Amino acid sequence: MKITNLVAVATVLGLSSFSIMAHDKLSTETNTQQIEVNQSRAAFFGLNDVFYVKTDAGVKEAQTLSAGDKLLVNSSGSLAMVTGKLIVKLSESIDPEQFAKLYDLDLDWKNNSNLVILAADKNADLLSLLAQLKADKRVVRVKLDKTIAKNSPM
């Protein structure tokens, strides 16, 4: 009985693969044009930068952000503190020191591939600064630096 069931299953599988092979195959030739798109992963997925801050009245959408503000991190539900720094990837031909001076920022750190950490003044509006840097053609990507205390209760 077990052998006949096994033979029946093998026959069905063999016939189904034969019927798949019997169909016309799709053409694999395509017109291969490469299009270069310079956009961030978040922009590709349609994610916008909406930040939520913890206030005395509860959690609200941030209108402004400055160093020390507490953000709600959606992925974990924990809080993150805004450090007042921005992590910026600059185009290759841009000098990080001159770029920082243009925006009145301090250059905290840089590496050979023009990834930099820029520090803003303590009272600077980081949301408007973030929007300005995202609009700058010399910036490949930018994000706010924040510290996350995963074990702290909300």
pLDDT tens across 62-110, in order?
999 999 998 887 656 678 899 999 999 999 999 999 999 999 999 999 9
Q: Which range has the top average pLDDT, 10-19, 25-34, 125-134, 141-150? A: 125-134
pLDDT tens digits, residue range 19-63? 455 555 555 565 556 655 565 555 554 446 788 888 888 888 899
Query: What is the domain range of residue 45?
Result: 41-149
Could you tell me the pTM of the whole model? 0.66
**Within a domain: 5:** no
Assess if residue 99 is contained within a domain.
Answer: yes
Q: Which two tokens stand for residue 22?
A: 């019997």
Residue 7 lies in a domain: no
- Percent of the chain with pLDDT strictly greater than 70: 62
Q: Would residue 79 count as lying in a domain?
A: yes
Instruction: Report pLDDT for 126.
Output: 95
Per the domain annotation, does 82 fall within a domain?
yes
Evaluate whether residue 33 is within a structural domain.
no
* Per-residue DSSP letter, 152: S
8 vs 32: CA distance, rounded Å: 45
Q: What is the DSSP letter of 75?
A: T
CA distance 3 to 115: 65
Instruction: Tally the domains of the chain.
Output: 1
In a domain, 12, yes or no: no
